[in-house]
């Protein structure tokens, strides 16, 4: 029987019965920088926690499972995840970016990526004709959906078709809906990004970011970049996010219910001119959201 998302938030199937955790329900924190080996020329599979750590690996496998990806990488922050993803490109590459995105992302594109001579094209990807703006040097389309803060909704499957037609990567920041409500890889995205600080962690006590993919060539390049830069998440922070994911389902469900009630109430207030909430039938992205997300 296929496991539902709430069960997958609680249990990673491949760890059940594994000897090294002594049956612990809460996976241990391997708070170590280095590892001892059985003998000369022998390895436990772990050498240095910048390269790999058991606690971080369990978190990465859990997030990959929730996003239906083949691999996830846990990083120090969501911004670190975006920064490392941008390292996949080279000077002169054009990247089409949703204009209404998180301010920290805009700051990165405008002030850091520009130093690498990346060409950034901002569009309203929920309305504008993306294909007409693709150029010979366009290598990726980067979107949030829904966006932060204006809650614009882009059609992931449609944009994926455009990206594949022009041999571009589609990168989706899925922070707002989390894997509980939306799985962009299933809709054709190549890379999914999360700020784990928000809904995945859920307790306001740690920072984290994630990159998830199901493309082998991207996976290998990201693994090299993360090991080289040392951007991997620390063991204790990894455990905190694992703890948070256990309650992801109930938190997201309640958040959605509460947000819907607040949006309906605000709609009825004479002093409120407009409510930006894609769960309302009056929102321009309502039908797209119903098609590509749950809840």
> Would residue 18 show up in a list of annotated catalytic residues for this protein?
no
Q: Which entry of 102, 118, 142, 180 is annotated as an active-site residue? A: 102
DSSP H stretches of helix in 166-215: 178-181
Catalytic residue among 100, 155, 173, 237: 173
Q: Name the catalytic one among 50, 133, 221, 243.
A: 50
Q: Is 5 helix (H, G, I), strand (E, B) or coil?
A: helix
Size (the chain), residues: 295
Distance, CA of 120 to CA of 21 (rounded, Å): 47
Look up 221 and say whether it is catalytic: no
- Concerning whether 173 is annotated as a catalytic residue, the answer is yes
CA angle 108, 101, 189 (to 5 degrees): 95
Taking residue 156's Cβ as centre, other Cβ atoms within 10 Å add up to 26
277 belongs to the catalytic site: no
Other C-beta atoms within 10 Å of 68: how many?
14
Helix axes 103-111, 78-86, angle to 10 degrees: 30
Active-site residue (options: 61, 198, 223, 253): 198
Greatest CA span in the chain, whole angstroms? 75
- Enzyme catalytic residues: 50, 102, 173, 198
């Amino acid at each position: 029987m296929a496991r539902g998302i709430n069960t997958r938030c609680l249990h990673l199937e491949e760890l059940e019965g594994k000897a090294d955790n002594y049956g612990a329900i809460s996976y241990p924190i391997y708070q170590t920088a280095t590892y001892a080996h059985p003998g000369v020329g022998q390895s436990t599979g772990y050498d240095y926690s910048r390269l790999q750590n058991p606690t971080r690996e369990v978190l990465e496998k859990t997030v990959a499972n929730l996003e239906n990806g083949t691999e996830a990488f846990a990083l120090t922050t969501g911004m670190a995840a975006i920064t490392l993803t941008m390292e996949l490109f080279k000077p002169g590459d054009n990247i089409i970016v949703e204009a209404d995105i998180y301010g920290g992302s805009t700051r990165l594109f405008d002030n850091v990526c520009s130093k690498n001579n990346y060409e950034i094209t901002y569009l309203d990807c929920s309305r504008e004709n993306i294909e007409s703006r693709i150029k010979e040097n366009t290598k990726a389309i980067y979107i949030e959906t829904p966006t932060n803060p204006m809650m614009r909704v882009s059609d992931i499957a449609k944009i994926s078709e455009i990206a594949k037609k022009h041999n571009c990567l589609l990168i989706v920041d899925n922070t707002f809906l989390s894997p509980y409500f939306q799985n962009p890889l299933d809709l054709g995205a190549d890379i999914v990004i999360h700020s784990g600080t928000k809904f995945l962690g859920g307790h306001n006590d740690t920072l984290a970011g994630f990159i998830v993919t199901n493309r082998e060539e991207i996976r290998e390049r990201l693994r090299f970049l993360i090991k080289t830069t040392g951007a991997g998440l620390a063991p204790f922070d990894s455990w905190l996010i694992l703890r948070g994911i256990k309650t992801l389902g109930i938190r997201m469900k309640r958040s959605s219910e509460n947000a819907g009630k607040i949006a309906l109430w605000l709609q009825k207030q004479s002093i409120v001119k407009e409510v930006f909430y894609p769960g309302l039938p009056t929102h321009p992205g309502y039908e797209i959201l119903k098609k590509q997300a749950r809840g």
